[in-house]
Amino acid sequence: MEIKKLLEEKSKKAWEIYIPGLSIDCAVFGFQDGALKVLLLKVKGQDLWGLPGGYIKKEEALKEAASRILKDRTGANDIYLQQFRVFGELNRSEGFFTEYEDTLWHKQRFISVGFYALVDYSKVQLKIDDLSNACEWVSIDALPAFMMDHRIIFDRALLTLRKQLNYKPIGYNLLPEVFTMPELQRLYEIILGKKLNRGNFYRKMTGYAILDKLDESRKGGAHKSPNLYRFNLEKYNLALKNGLKEGW
Amino acid sequence: MEIKKLLEEKSKKAWEIYIPGLSIDCAVFGFQDGALKVLLLKVKGQDLWGLPGGYIKKEEALKEAASRILKDRTGANDIYLQQFRVFGELNRSEGFFTEYEDTLWHKQRFISVGFYALVDYSKVQLKIDDLSNACEWVSIDALPAFMMDHRIIFDRALLTLRKQLNYKPIGYNLLPEVFTMPELQRLYEIILGKKLNRGNFYRKMTGYAILDKLDESRKGGAHKSPNLYRFNLEKYNLALKNGLKEGW
Protein backbone atom coordinates (compact mmCIF):
# COMPACT_ATOMS: atom_id res chain seq x y z
CA MET A 1 0.00 0.00 0.00
CA GLU A 2 1.28 3.48 -0.72
CA ILE A 3 2.42 5.41 2.32
CA LYS A 4 -0.33 8.09 2.13
CA LYS A 5 -3.19 5.58 2.24
CA LEU A 6 -1.43 3.62 4.97
CA LEU A 7 -1.03 6.68 7.17
CA GLU A 8 -4.65 7.71 6.73
CA GLU A 9 -5.80 4.25 7.72
CA LYS A 10 -3.50 4.21 10.74
CA SER A 11 -4.72 7.66 11.69
CA LYS A 12 -8.32 6.47 11.88
CA LYS A 13 -7.41 3.59 14.18
CA ALA A 14 -5.12 5.74 16.31
CA TRP A 15 -7.92 8.18 17.20
CA GLU A 16 -9.91 5.22 18.52
CA ILE A 17 -7.19 3.44 20.45
CA TYR A 18 -4.77 6.01 21.86
CA ILE A 19 -4.67 9.04 24.13
CA PRO A 20 -4.40 12.01 21.76
CA GLY A 21 -1.56 14.50 21.94
CA LEU A 22 0.86 12.33 23.87
CA SER A 23 3.60 10.13 22.45
CA ILE A 24 6.61 8.10 23.59
CA ASP A 25 10.07 8.18 22.03
CA CYS A 26 12.76 5.70 23.01
CA ALA A 27 16.53 5.92 22.88
CA VAL A 28 17.55 2.26 22.99
CA PHE A 29 21.21 1.65 23.71
CA GLY A 30 23.21 -1.50 23.13
CA PHE A 31 26.93 -2.20 23.41
CA GLN A 32 28.74 -4.28 20.81
CA ASP A 33 32.38 -4.72 19.85
CA GLY A 34 33.41 -1.86 22.09
CA ALA A 35 30.93 0.57 20.54
CA LEU A 36 27.78 2.09 22.03
CA LYS A 37 24.93 1.85 19.55
CA VAL A 38 21.43 3.25 19.36
CA LEU A 39 18.42 1.72 17.66
CA LEU A 40 17.16 3.79 14.72
CA LEU A 41 14.33 3.51 12.23
CA LYS A 42 14.06 4.89 8.74
CA VAL A 43 10.56 6.03 7.88
CA LYS A 44 9.27 5.14 4.41
CA GLY A 45 9.41 7.97 1.93
CA GLN A 46 11.93 9.93 4.02
CA ASP A 47 15.70 10.15 4.11
CA LEU A 48 15.74 10.88 7.82
CA TRP A 49 16.08 8.48 10.71
CA GLY A 50 14.07 8.44 13.90
CA LEU A 51 13.92 6.89 17.33
CA PRO A 52 11.39 4.10 17.78
CA GLY A 53 8.23 5.39 19.38
CA GLY A 54 4.51 5.09 19.70
CA TYR A 55 1.43 6.08 21.67
CA ILE A 56 -0.34 5.24 24.93
CA LYS A 57 -3.56 3.27 24.80
CA LYS A 58 -6.56 4.80 26.55
CA GLU A 59 -6.53 2.00 29.13
CA GLU A 60 -2.78 1.57 29.53
CA ALA A 61 -0.29 2.89 32.05
CA LEU A 62 2.54 4.99 30.62
CA LYS A 63 5.28 2.51 31.51
CA GLU A 64 3.31 -0.41 30.05
CA ALA A 65 3.02 1.52 26.81
CA ALA A 66 6.78 2.04 26.64
CA SER A 67 7.41 -1.66 27.31
CA ARG A 68 4.93 -2.68 24.64
CA ILE A 69 6.46 -0.34 22.07
CA LEU A 70 9.93 -1.72 22.70
CA LYS A 71 8.81 -5.32 22.75
CA ASP A 72 7.14 -4.86 19.38
CA ARG A 73 10.38 -3.52 18.03
CA THR A 74 12.99 -5.72 19.67
CA GLY A 75 11.16 -8.85 20.82
CA ALA A 76 12.82 -8.33 24.21
CA ASN A 77 10.96 -8.39 27.52
CA ASP A 78 13.73 -7.87 30.01
CA ILE A 79 14.65 -4.31 29.15
CA TYR A 80 15.98 -1.68 31.54
CA LEU A 81 13.66 1.19 30.73
CA GLN A 82 13.53 4.63 32.33
CA GLN A 83 11.66 7.79 31.48
CA PHE A 84 14.07 10.71 31.47
CA ARG A 85 12.35 13.82 30.13
CA VAL A 86 9.23 15.24 28.55
CA PHE A 87 9.64 17.12 25.29
CA GLY A 88 6.89 19.70 25.21
CA GLU A 89 8.07 22.50 22.95
CA LEU A 90 5.73 23.98 20.39
CA ASN A 91 6.32 22.82 16.82
CA ARG A 92 8.42 19.85 17.84
CA SER A 93 6.11 17.53 15.92
CA GLU A 94 3.88 19.92 13.96
CA GLY A 95 4.48 20.95 10.38
CA PHE A 96 5.68 17.56 9.18
CA PHE A 97 2.65 16.20 7.37
CA THR A 98 1.59 19.36 5.53
CA GLU A 99 0.30 17.44 2.51
CA TYR A 100 -2.31 15.64 4.65
CA GLU A 101 -5.72 16.60 6.05
CA ASP A 102 -5.63 18.51 9.34
CA THR A 103 -7.43 15.65 11.05
CA LEU A 104 -4.53 13.23 10.46
CA TRP A 105 -3.44 11.80 13.81
CA HIS A 106 0.25 12.24 12.99
CA LYS A 107 -0.21 15.90 12.12
CA GLN A 108 -1.34 16.94 15.61
CA ARG A 109 0.77 18.55 18.28
CA PHE A 110 2.38 15.82 20.38
CA ILE A 111 4.09 16.20 23.71
CA SER A 112 6.49 13.28 23.95
CA VAL A 113 7.79 11.36 26.94
CA GLY A 114 11.40 10.28 26.36
CA PHE A 115 12.47 6.87 27.66
CA TYR A 116 15.92 5.39 27.45
CA ALA A 117 16.51 1.69 27.42
CA LEU A 118 19.60 -0.45 27.90
CA VAL A 119 19.37 -3.80 26.20
CA ASP A 120 21.43 -6.91 25.80
CA TYR A 121 22.37 -6.67 22.16
CA SER A 122 22.53 -10.46 21.75
CA LYS A 123 18.94 -10.98 22.90
CA VAL A 124 17.35 -8.58 20.48
CA GLN A 125 15.60 -9.38 17.21
CA LEU A 126 14.90 -6.17 15.37
CA LYS A 127 11.62 -5.83 13.48
CA ILE A 128 10.68 -3.23 10.93
CA ASP A 129 7.01 -2.33 10.65
CA ASP A 130 4.93 -1.24 7.66
CA LEU A 131 5.79 2.45 8.15
CA SER A 132 9.55 1.96 8.11
CA ASN A 133 11.97 0.36 5.71
CA ALA A 134 14.95 -0.05 8.01
CA CYS A 135 15.60 -0.71 11.70
CA GLU A 136 19.27 -0.77 12.63
CA TRP A 137 21.84 -0.44 15.37
CA VAL A 138 23.91 2.64 14.64
CA SER A 139 27.11 3.60 16.47
CA ILE A 140 26.72 6.86 18.39
CA ASP A 141 29.91 8.01 16.64
CA ALA A 142 28.27 7.79 13.22
CA LEU A 143 24.75 9.14 13.60
CA PRO A 144 22.72 10.03 10.48
CA ALA A 145 20.37 13.03 10.13
CA PHE A 146 17.32 12.69 12.38
CA MET A 147 13.68 13.59 11.80
CA MET A 148 11.77 16.18 13.89
CA ASP A 149 13.49 16.82 17.25
CA HIS A 150 14.79 13.28 17.59
CA ARG A 151 18.41 14.40 17.67
CA ILE A 152 17.58 16.57 20.69
CA ILE A 153 15.87 13.63 22.38
CA PHE A 154 18.83 11.37 21.66
CA ASP A 155 21.36 13.91 22.94
CA ARG A 156 19.40 14.36 26.13
CA ALA A 157 19.19 10.60 26.65
CA LEU A 158 22.95 10.23 26.28
CA LEU A 159 23.51 13.16 28.65
CA THR A 160 21.21 11.49 31.19
CA LEU A 161 23.16 8.25 30.89
CA ARG A 162 26.41 10.18 31.32
CA LYS A 163 25.25 11.99 34.43
CA GLN A 164 23.88 8.83 35.94
CA LEU A 165 27.32 7.20 35.83
CA ASN A 166 28.04 9.32 38.89
CA TYR A 167 25.31 7.90 41.05
CA LYS A 168 23.88 4.77 39.43
CA PRO A 169 25.62 1.56 38.41
CA ILE A 170 25.54 0.67 34.74
CA GLY A 171 26.55 -2.31 32.67
CA TYR A 172 24.34 -5.18 33.72
CA ASN A 173 22.09 -4.86 30.68
CA LEU A 174 24.92 -3.91 28.35
CA LEU A 175 27.86 -6.23 29.06
CA PRO A 176 28.06 -10.02 28.89
CA GLU A 177 27.60 -11.75 32.22
CA VAL A 178 31.34 -12.06 32.78
CA PHE A 179 33.78 -9.31 31.85
CA THR A 180 37.18 -7.82 32.61
CA MET A 181 37.83 -4.49 34.29
CA PRO A 182 39.19 -2.98 31.04
CA GLU A 183 35.96 -4.00 29.28
CA LEU A 184 33.87 -2.26 31.93
CA GLN A 185 36.14 0.77 31.75
CA ARG A 186 35.69 0.85 27.98
CA LEU A 187 31.91 1.08 28.44
CA TYR A 188 32.31 4.06 30.77
CA GLU A 189 34.75 5.74 28.39
CA ILE A 190 32.39 5.30 25.45
CA ILE A 191 29.46 6.82 27.34
CA LEU A 192 31.55 9.67 28.71
CA GLY A 193 33.35 10.28 25.44
CA LYS A 194 36.73 10.46 27.17
CA LYS A 195 39.61 8.30 28.40
CA LEU A 196 39.78 7.44 32.09
CA ASN A 197 42.80 6.66 34.23
CA ARG A 198 43.04 2.90 34.71
CA GLY A 199 44.11 2.97 38.36
CA ASN A 200 41.48 5.51 39.37
CA PHE A 201 38.78 3.57 37.56
CA TYR A 202 39.77 0.36 39.31
CA ARG A 203 39.79 1.99 42.75
CA LYS A 204 36.50 3.81 42.28
CA MET A 205 34.74 0.78 40.82
CA THR A 206 35.90 -1.64 43.51
CA GLY A 207 34.93 1.00 46.09
CA TYR A 208 31.32 0.77 44.89
CA ALA A 209 31.29 -2.88 45.99
CA ILE A 210 28.92 -4.03 43.25
CA LEU A 211 31.30 -6.49 41.56
CA ASP A 212 32.17 -10.11 42.38
CA LYS A 213 35.61 -11.19 41.31
CA LEU A 214 35.64 -14.70 39.84
CA ASP A 215 38.21 -17.33 40.77
CA GLU A 216 39.25 -17.94 37.16
CA SER A 217 40.85 -15.40 34.86
CA ARG A 218 40.66 -15.15 31.08
CA LYS A 219 43.17 -17.47 29.36
CA GLY A 220 45.06 -16.82 26.15
CA GLY A 221 46.82 -13.72 24.86
CA ALA A 222 50.43 -12.72 25.28
CA HIS A 223 49.97 -10.73 28.48
CA LYS A 224 49.03 -11.58 32.02
CA SER A 225 45.53 -13.09 31.99
CA PRO A 226 43.07 -10.43 33.17
CA ASN A 227 40.78 -11.07 36.13
CA LEU A 228 37.13 -11.70 35.43
CA TYR A 229 34.18 -10.05 37.20
CA ARG A 230 30.43 -10.23 37.28
CA PHE A 231 27.94 -7.87 38.86
CA ASN A 232 26.64 -8.83 42.27
CA LEU A 233 23.00 -8.41 41.35
CA GLU A 234 21.75 -7.87 44.87
CA LYS A 235 24.19 -5.04 45.53
CA TYR A 236 23.80 -3.73 41.99
CA ASN A 237 20.04 -3.43 42.31
CA LEU A 238 20.33 -1.85 45.73
CA ALA A 239 22.69 0.74 44.27
CA LEU A 240 20.27 1.32 41.36
CA LYS A 241 17.59 2.07 43.91
CA ASN A 242 19.53 4.03 46.51
CA GLY A 243 22.43 5.42 44.53
CA LEU A 244 26.11 4.48 44.64
CA LYS A 245 27.63 4.89 48.07
CA GLU A 246 29.39 8.13 47.43
CA GLY A 247 26.69 10.48 48.55
CA TRP A 248 26.19 12.61 51.59
CA MET B 1 -21.15 30.10 43.46
CA GLU B 2 -21.51 26.55 44.65
CA ILE B 3 -18.59 24.28 43.78
CA LYS B 4 -20.57 22.03 41.41
CA LYS B 5 -21.67 24.87 39.14
CA LEU B 6 -18.21 26.38 39.25
CA LEU B 7 -16.55 23.14 38.18
CA GLU B 8 -18.96 22.64 35.32
CA GLU B 9 -18.31 26.14 34.07
CA LYS B 10 -14.56 25.66 34.37
CA SER B 11 -14.87 22.36 32.56
CA LYS B 12 -16.46 23.99 29.53
CA LYS B 13 -13.68 26.55 29.25
CA ALA B 14 -10.96 23.97 29.86
CA TRP B 15 -12.01 21.86 26.86
CA GLU B 16 -11.57 24.96 24.68
CA ILE B 17 -8.27 26.21 26.03
CA TYR B 18 -6.14 23.26 27.11
CA ILE B 19 -4.59 20.08 25.72
CA PRO B 20 -6.82 17.29 27.03
CA GLY B 21 -5.49 14.43 29.13
CA LEU B 22 -2.30 16.11 30.27
CA SER B 23 -1.75 18.04 33.49
CA ILE B 24 1.07 19.57 35.53
CA ASP B 25 1.60 19.15 39.26
CA CYS B 26 4.17 21.18 41.15
CA ALA B 27 6.05 20.48 44.36
CA VAL B 28 7.15 23.95 45.41
CA PHE B 29 9.80 24.02 48.13
CA GLY B 30 10.78 26.90 50.34
CA PHE B 31 13.11 27.08 53.33
CA GLN B 32 12.18 29.10 56.41
CA ASP B 33 13.35 29.13 60.01
CA GLY B 34 15.40 26.00 59.47
CA ALA B 35 12.45 24.03 58.05
CA LEU B 36 11.83 22.82 54.51
CA LYS B 37 8.27 23.62 53.49
CA VAL B 38 6.06 22.72 50.57
CA LEU B 39 3.23 24.74 49.08
CA LEU B 40 -0.17 23.08 49.48
CA LEU B 41 -3.73 23.90 48.50
CA LYS B 42 -6.97 22.82 50.06
CA VAL B 43 -9.70 22.22 47.54
CA LYS B 44 -13.16 23.53 48.39
CA GLY B 45 -15.54 20.90 49.67
CA GLN B 46 -12.72 18.45 50.49
CA ASP B 47 -10.67 17.73 53.58
CA LEU B 48 -7.65 16.75 51.55
CA TRP B 49 -4.73 18.86 50.41
CA GLY B 50 -3.13 18.95 47.00
CA LEU B 51 -0.11 20.24 45.12
CA PRO B 52 -0.73 23.32 42.97
CA GLY B 53 -1.23 22.35 39.36
CA GLY B 54 -2.90 23.10 36.09
CA TYR B 55 -3.02 22.39 32.38
CA ILE B 56 -1.12 23.20 29.20
CA LYS B 57 -2.69 25.59 26.71
CA LYS B 58 -3.01 24.35 23.16
CA GLU B 59 -0.48 26.91 21.97
CA GLU B 60 1.91 26.84 24.91
CA ALA B 61 5.18 25.00 25.54
CA LEU B 62 5.20 22.65 28.52
CA LYS B 63 7.72 24.69 30.50
CA GLU B 64 5.84 27.95 29.86
CA ALA B 65 2.72 26.32 31.24
CA ALA B 66 4.51 25.31 34.45
CA SER B 67 5.91 28.84 34.88
CA ARG B 68 2.48 30.38 34.31
CA ILE B 69 0.85 28.04 36.84
CA LEU B 70 3.40 28.91 39.49
CA LYS B 71 3.33 32.61 38.79
CA ASP B 72 -0.46 32.62 39.18
CA ARG B 73 -0.04 30.95 42.54
CA THR B 74 3.03 32.68 43.98
CA GLY B 75 3.44 35.90 42.03
CA ALA B 76 7.08 34.93 41.54
CA ASN B 77 8.87 35.00 38.21
CA ASP B 78 12.35 33.93 39.12
CA ILE B 79 11.67 30.35 40.13
CA TYR B 80 14.02 27.40 39.75
CA LEU B 81 11.72 24.94 38.03
CA GLN B 82 12.53 21.43 36.82
CA GLN B 83 10.39 18.64 35.49
CA PHE B 84 11.29 15.43 37.30
CA ARG B 85 8.86 12.67 36.38
CA VAL B 86 5.68 11.81 34.51
CA PHE B 87 2.92 10.13 36.49
CA GLY B 88 1.06 7.93 34.05
CA GLU B 89 -0.58 5.17 36.07
CA LEU B 90 -4.16 4.21 35.39
CA ASN B 91 -6.70 5.54 37.91
CA ARG B 92 -4.33 8.13 39.33
CA SER B 93 -6.87 10.87 38.59
CA GLU B 94 -9.98 8.94 37.62
CA GLY B 95 -12.80 8.09 39.99
CA PHE B 96 -12.73 11.36 41.90
CA PHE B 97 -15.68 13.22 40.42
CA THR B 98 -18.18 10.38 40.31
CA GLU B 99 -21.16 12.64 41.01
CA TYR B 100 -20.51 14.63 37.80
CA GLU B 101 -21.28 14.04 34.11
CA ASP B 102 -18.72 11.90 32.28
CA THR B 103 -17.89 14.84 30.05
CA LEU B 104 -16.53 16.91 32.96
CA TRP B 105 -12.97 17.94 32.18
CA HIS B 106 -11.74 17.09 35.66
CA LYS B 107 -13.19 13.58 35.50
CA GLN B 108 -11.00 12.45 32.58
CA ARG B 109 -7.84 10.40 32.79
CA PHE B 110 -4.88 12.72 33.18
CA ILE B 111 -1.23 11.89 32.77
CA SER B 112 0.63 14.44 34.86
CA VAL B 113 4.08 15.95 34.47
CA GLY B 114 5.67 16.57 37.85
CA PHE B 115 7.76 19.72 38.30
CA TYR B 116 9.61 20.73 41.40
CA ALA B 117 10.40 24.32 42.19
CA LEU B 118 12.74 25.99 44.65
CA VAL B 119 11.63 29.46 45.63
CA ASP B 120 12.80 32.29 47.79
CA TYR B 121 10.25 32.20 50.54
CA SER B 122 10.46 35.93 51.15
CA LYS B 123 9.58 36.85 47.55
CA VAL B 124 6.39 34.85 47.38
CA GLN B 125 2.84 36.12 47.76
CA LEU B 126 0.50 33.17 47.96
CA LYS B 127 -2.85 33.39 46.21
CA ILE B 128 -5.84 31.13 46.62
CA ASP B 129 -8.16 30.74 43.64
CA ASP B 130 -11.89 30.16 43.44
CA LEU B 131 -11.54 26.36 43.64
CA SER B 132 -9.49 26.36 46.84
CA ASN B 133 -10.02 27.80 50.28
CA ALA B 134 -6.46 27.64 51.55
CA CYS B 135 -2.93 27.95 50.14
CA GLU B 136 -0.18 27.46 52.71
CA TRP B 137 3.44 26.60 53.33
CA VAL B 138 3.52 23.32 55.23
CA SER B 139 6.60 21.84 56.84
CA ILE B 140 7.59 18.51 55.26
CA ASP B 141 7.68 17.08 58.78
CA ALA B 142 3.97 17.76 59.30
CA LEU B 143 2.22 16.87 56.06
CA PRO B 144 -1.58 16.48 55.98
CA ALA B 145 -3.52 13.84 54.00
CA PHE B 146 -3.23 14.43 50.25
CA MET B 147 -5.77 14.06 47.46
CA MET B 148 -5.38 11.62 44.54
CA ASP B 149 -1.73 10.50 44.11
CA HIS B 150 -0.29 13.81 45.25
CA ARG B 151 1.56 12.22 48.15
CA ILE B 152 3.36 9.96 45.67
CA ILE B 153 4.25 12.96 43.53
CA PHE B 154 5.51 14.88 46.55
CA ASP B 155 7.60 11.93 47.80
CA ARG B 156 9.16 11.51 44.39
CA ALA B 157 9.98 15.22 44.20
CA LEU B 158 11.72 15.11 47.57
CA LEU B 159 13.62 11.96 46.54
CA THR B 160 14.75 13.73 43.36
CA LEU B 161 15.96 16.70 45.38
CA ARG B 162 17.79 14.33 47.74
CA LYS B 163 19.55 12.44 44.95
CA GLN B 164 20.50 15.64 43.22
CA LEU B 165 22.44 16.81 46.27
CA ASN B 166 25.11 14.40 45.07
CA TYR B 167 25.68 16.00 41.71
CA LYS B 168 23.97 19.40 41.62
CA PRO B 169 24.45 22.43 43.86
CA ILE B 170 21.46 23.58 45.84
CA GLY B 171 20.64 26.55 48.02
CA TYR B 172 20.74 29.61 45.78
CA ASN B 173 16.96 29.80 45.54
CA LEU B 174 16.39 28.68 49.12
CA LEU B 175 18.86 30.53 51.35
CA PRO B 176 19.32 34.25 51.86
CA GLU B 177 22.10 35.80 49.80
CA VAL B 178 24.60 35.54 52.64
CA PHE B 179 24.74 32.57 55.00
CA THR B 180 26.97 30.61 57.33
CA MET B 181 28.29 27.10 56.72
CA PRO B 182 26.08 25.67 59.52
CA GLU B 183 23.03 27.23 57.84
CA LEU B 184 23.92 25.59 54.54
CA GLN B 185 24.56 22.30 56.33
CA ARG B 186 21.16 22.57 57.99
CA LEU B 187 19.51 22.81 54.56
CA TYR B 188 21.28 19.63 53.43
CA GLU B 189 20.34 17.84 56.62
CA ILE B 190 16.70 18.79 56.28
CA ILE B 191 16.52 17.55 52.70
CA LEU B 192 18.41 14.34 53.49
CA GLY B 193 16.54 13.76 56.72
CA LYS B 194 19.74 12.99 58.63
CA LYS B 195 22.59 14.65 60.51
CA LEU B 196 25.89 15.22 58.71
CA ASN B 197 29.38 15.41 60.15
CA ARG B 198 30.42 19.05 60.35
CA GLY B 199 34.03 18.59 59.27
CA ASN B 200 33.14 16.36 56.32
CA PHE B 201 30.46 18.78 55.19
CA TYR B 202 32.89 21.68 55.28
CA ARG B 203 35.56 19.80 53.33
CA LYS B 204 33.17 18.49 50.71
CA MET B 205 31.42 21.81 50.23
CA THR B 206 34.61 23.85 49.92
CA GLY B 207 35.89 21.17 47.53
CA TYR B 208 33.02 21.98 45.16
CA ALA B 209 34.41 25.51 44.81
CA ILE B 210 31.01 27.16 44.39
CA LEU B 211 31.20 29.40 47.47
CA ASP B 212 32.82 32.78 48.00
CA LYS B 213 33.91 33.49 51.54
CA LEU B 214 33.16 37.06 52.62
CA ASP B 215 35.65 39.24 54.47
CA GLU B 216 33.28 39.98 57.30
CA SER B 217 31.84 37.44 59.74
CA ARG B 218 28.53 37.50 61.61
CA LYS B 219 28.73 39.53 64.80
CA GLY B 220 26.94 38.87 68.07
CA GLY B 221 26.34 35.68 70.02
CA ALA B 222 28.42 34.13 72.74
CA HIS B 223 30.64 32.03 70.49
CA LYS B 224 33.23 32.77 67.86
CA SER B 225 31.59 34.75 65.04
CA PRO B 226 30.92 32.38 62.15
CA ASN B 227 32.26 33.07 58.67
CA LEU B 228 29.83 34.24 56.02
CA TYR B 229 29.53 32.88 52.50
CA ARG B 230 27.65 33.55 49.33
CA PHE B 231 27.32 31.41 46.21
CA ASN B 232 29.62 32.26 43.35
CA LEU B 233 26.86 32.41 40.75
CA GLU B 234 29.08 31.77 37.77
CA LYS B 235 30.53 28.60 39.26
CA TYR B 236 27.19 27.63 40.76
CA ASN B 237 25.42 27.80 37.40
CA LEU B 238 28.23 25.93 35.70
CA ALA B 239 27.91 23.17 38.29
CA LEU B 240 24.13 23.12 37.78
CA LYS B 241 24.73 22.56 34.11
CA ASN B 242 27.67 20.17 34.18
CA GLY B 243 27.38 18.57 37.60
CA LEU B 244 29.55 19.02 40.66
CA LYS B 245 33.17 18.14 40.06
CA GLU B 246 33.13 14.74 41.65
CA GLY B 247 32.29 12.70 38.60
CA TRP B 248 34.31 10.43 36.39
Chain B residue at shortest CA distance from A168: B163
Least confident of A119-128, B131-140, B231-240: A119-128
**Average pLDDT estimate for B14-19:** 97
**B56 contact A CB<8A:** yes
Average pLDDT over residues B165-174: 88
- Per-residue confidence (pLDDT) for residue A149, from 0 to 100: 94
Residues in B touching A248 (Cβ below 8 Å): 165-166, 188, 192, 196, 204
**Which tens digit of pLDDT belongs to each residue from A126-156?**
988 888 889 999 999 999 999 999 999 999 9
Phi, psi of A76 (to 5 degrees): -95, 140
Where is pLDDT greater, at B219 or B9? B9
How large is the angle between the packed helices B150-164 and B181-192, nearest 10 degrees?
140
pLDDT at A123 over 90: no
Check B62 against A88: CB less than 8 A apart.
Answer: yes
* b/e A207-238 (16+ beta carbons within 10 angstroms → b): eeebbeeeeeeeeeeeeeeeebbbbeeebbee
pLDDT of residue B210 exceeding 80, the answer is yes
Contacts with A70 (C-beta within 8 Å, 6 or more apart), sequence order? A26, A28, A52, A76, A79, A81, A117
Contact B115, B161 (CB under 8 A): no
The per-residue pLDDT of chain B, averaged, comes to 90
| Res B72 pLDDT > 80 | yes
Count of pairs with CB atoms under 8 A, one residue in A, one in B: 85
pLDDT-derived band at A238 (thresholds 50, 70, 90) equals very high
Interface predicted TM-score of the whole assembly (ipTM), two decimals? 0.89
- The pTM (predicted TM-score) of the whole model is 0.91
C-alpha atoms less than 13 angstroms from C-alpha of B3 in its C-beta half-sphere: 12
Report how far residue B79's alpha carbon sits from residue B112's, in angstroms, rounded to the nearest whole number: 20
pLDDT score at A246: 64
Q: Which residues of chain B are within 8 Å of residue A169 when distances are taken between CB atoms?
A: none
B83 pairs with which residues across the strands? B115
pLDDT band at A241 (very low <50, low <70, confident <90, very high): confident
Task: Tell me the β-bridge partners of A213.
Answer: A229
Report pLDDT digits (tens) over B101-139. Answer: 999 999 999 999 999 999 988 888 898 888 888 999 999
Measure in Å the smallest separation between the Cα of A85 and chain B Cα atoms: 7
pLDDT for residue B158? 95
Say what the pLDDT of residue B167 is.
82
Query: How much of chain B is in helix, strand and coil states, percent to nearest 5?
Result: 35, 30, 40
Cβ atoms < 10 Å from Cβ of A52? 25
What is residue B211's three-state secondary structure?
Answer: strand
Q: Would you place residue B221 in the very low, low, confident or very high pLDDT band (cuts 50, 70, 90)?
A: low
Each residue's pLDDT tens digit, B75-96: 888 789 999 999 999 988 877 8
Residue B63: list chain A partners with CB under 8 A: 88
How far apart CA B4 and CA A247 sit, in angstroms, is: 49
